[in-house]
Amino acid sequence: MRVSNLFGKTLRDVPSDADTASHQLLLRAGMIHQVAAGVYAYLPLAWRVHKKIENIIREELDKIGGQELLMPTLQPHELWEKSGRDVAFGQALFTFDDRRERKMVLAPTHEEVVTELARYNIQSYRDLPMMLYHIQTKFRDEPRPRGGLVRVREFAMKDLYSFDVDVDGLDASYEKALQAYKNIYSRCGLDFIVVEADSGAIGGKGSHEFMVIAETGEDEIIFCSKCDYAANEEKAVSIKPRAASDEPLPYQEVATPGAKTIEEVVSFLEIRKKQTLKAVFYIADGQFVFVTIRGDLDVNEIKLKNVLKCADLRLATDDEVKAAGVVAGSASLIGLKGIKSVADDSITLGTNFVVGANKPDYHLKNANYPRDFEVDLVTDIALARPKQSCIKCGGKLKSVRGIEVGHVFKLGTVYSQRSGAYYLDSDGNQNPVVMGCYGIGVGRLLAAAIEQNHDDRGIVWPVPIAPYQVYLCALNMDRSDEVVQAADRIYGELQEAGVEVLFDDRNESPGIKFNDADLLGIPLRLLVSTKSLQNGGLEVKARGDKESELVSIETAVDSVKALIDKFYNR
């Protein structure tokens, strides 16, 4: 491809509304165009990257027995009512009425449809195991689209679904998919980590996310410095430090004028945070919930939402707290009745805590569970934090930031039972098909690759997914027939050799061409100029290197191919 014919223009200035590196660079490189909030057109360069990622995905899924099909984006709302996920997805679900006033859904995912297909096409244990996948456009009405392709409302998603006779079969399919995912990200040239994750609206029990490590990532990954434990912040657990565990003392009331927050209370009483229990108030599906957690820890709202089994969870307003008869800033469960309560298990890791006295400007010392108050449910609802101890080996936890680029789930029978997807076993008994699902956001993966691979000059594409392998840059073509002839010759020879080459044949200054070469991030730059020809050939330079290498025209193609092979074999 000649740059003079390429659709899309580079920009010198950073777009003011672009809030991440990938968003800025994709816009500046003329690779995407925003059509609406969270809706983007992929211009030719970005679409080439997208297709390369798709092809890597297809190759790896085909190796484990995946069969590609295509399922519709337009789906009847009844399928979502049947699965119950019309409620779980809430306002993120795009819905509308067709001309026959039938409610329809623009699918955010395809579990409902693929289970229907399984219901009609899987009758016997002889039909199993089975793996089906597709790459399709999905829609989610994100409340705050951001980060360019990182969080959008319309996106391409690869979904793989496994169907097995039992849990052991699911485990085997899950392991195959995990390995295929590792191969995919490795082949894309990315630094990634596999973490335990929450299943969210998809459902199921086992779940892992694949995270591309990037400082600009929107997710925090908690991992162990000694073993292989890793989880996203929503799922991570830790060994919580114990507070003082002295003999329980009688509780006593103390005045704490003006002290409402944990920080104010510990400062006033000159104690440590882990000697306190704090109260946090939520509304779960319309019900007031009193949450108690040790003062040195924070509530993990995903864990809390899961244990409450609610669709909607939010902090209670001041008016809702007052209506529940709770004194904000001085509240505890001591003496309270008729209020739903949940506590983190940290309340059992110590004694003689300071809690609210349920009247303004007073607290109670030496509160102990279960001696002094009752809780409906005691479980882990705390955020795991760096420097705490690993639940597996006791090592110290650390954290990095990452971008989720894949999510895999052990669905079990939750969808097959609801949809009636059963098979006959060898004894003639009906059993629900055991399912797994495995997703990759292709556009998000593209953006994550840039977040991980860029510098102050532009993108630095990993070779396997770069839009082109070589950027052929010819200088002063309007003033030198020799440069024109040499550039045209090497362009033709590279194409004949199967090298993907972008030929900058514009009559622009060297500065503009060099800047665009760096911005677009093509792995190799091949420079043809009067100077290089006088020195005996062409200059070859890798995108991340400072110095170039001179090669002759006769050996240029072989040199370029050798460098590309070297990149692939790193």
pLDDT tens digits, 31-86? 999 999 999 999 999 999 999 999 999 999 999 999 999 999 999 999 999 888 88
Q: Where in the chain is the domain with CATH 3.30.930.10?
A: 43-71+108-236+399-451
Convert the pLDDT of each residue in 384-422 to its tens digit: 999 999 999 999 999 999 999 999 999 999 999 999 999
pTM (two decimals): 0.84
Mean pLDDT for 308-334 is: 94
Tell me what percent of the residues of the chain surpass a pLDDT of 90.
Answer: 78
The two tokens of residue 256 are 């704490």
pLDDT for the residue numbered 197: 76
* CATH number assigned to the domain with residue range 468-568, chosen from the 4 options 3.40.50.300, 3.40.50.2000, 3.40.50.800, 3.50.30.50: 3.40.50.800
pLDDT reading at 183 higher than 60? yes
Cis amide linkage into residue 386, ω under 30° from 0? no
pLDDT for the residue numbered 548: 86
Q: Which residues contact 228 (CB under 8 A, 6 or more apart)?
A: none
Burial class (CB in 10 A: 0-12, 13-18, 19+), 183: middle
Considering the domain delimited by 43-71+108-236+399-451, tell me its CATH architecture.
Answer: 2-Layer Sandwich (3.30)
Confidence of residue 248 (pLDDT cuts 50, 70, 90): very high
The mean of the pLDDT values for the chain is: 92
- Taking the CA atoms of residue 232, residue 238, residue 243 and residue 245 in that order, the dihedral angle to the nearest 10 degrees is 150
pLDDT for the residue numbered 483: 86
Residue 505 CA to residue 503 CA, distance in Å, equals: 6
Tell me, rounded to whole angstroms, the distance of Cα 154 from its chain centroid: 16
CA-based nearest residue to 53, from 466, 414, 389: 466
Mean pLDDT for 306-332 is: 93
The two tokens of residue 335 are 């003496």
| Per-range mean pLDDT, top range of 236-240, 377-381, 400-404 | 377-381
pLDDT reading at 362 higher than 80? yes
Q: Where in the chain is the domain with CATH 3.40.50.800?
A: 468-568
pLDDT reading at 233 higher than 90? no
E strand residue ranges, 361-441: 362-367, 377-379, 397-412, 422-424, 430-432, 434-441
pLDDT for the residue numbered 202: 46
Q: Where in the chain is the domain with CATH 3.90.960.10?
A: 252-379
Mean pLDDT for 96-103 is: 94
Mean pLDDT for 480-489 is: 88
CA-based nearest residue to 503, from 487, 489, 521, 519: 487
411: Cα within 13 Å, side-chain hemisphere: 28
Residue 104 CA to residue 121 CA, distance in Å, equals: 24
pLDDT for the residue numbered 91: 87
pLDDT reading at 200 higher than 60? no
Mean pLDDT for 219-231 is: 89
CA-based nearest residue to 442, from 214, 139, 150, 189: 150
Residue 403 CA to residue 150 CA, distance in Å, equals: 8
Residue type, position 548, single letter:
S
What CATH code would you report for 252-379? Answer: 3.90.960.10
Confidence of residue 90 (pLDDT cuts 50, 70, 90): confident
pLDDT for the residue numbered 547: 86
Burial 358-368 (b: 16+ CB within 10 A, else e): beeebbbbbbb
Residue 484 CA to residue 486 CA, distance in Å, equals: 6
Mean pLDDT for 215-220 is: 84
Sheet holding 353-356: strands in order across? 252-255, 362-367, 353-356
User: Is-contact 423 165, C-beta < 8 A?
Assistant: yes
Confidence of residue 477 (pLDDT cuts 50, 70, 90): confident
Cis amide linkage into residue 72, ω under 30° from 0? no
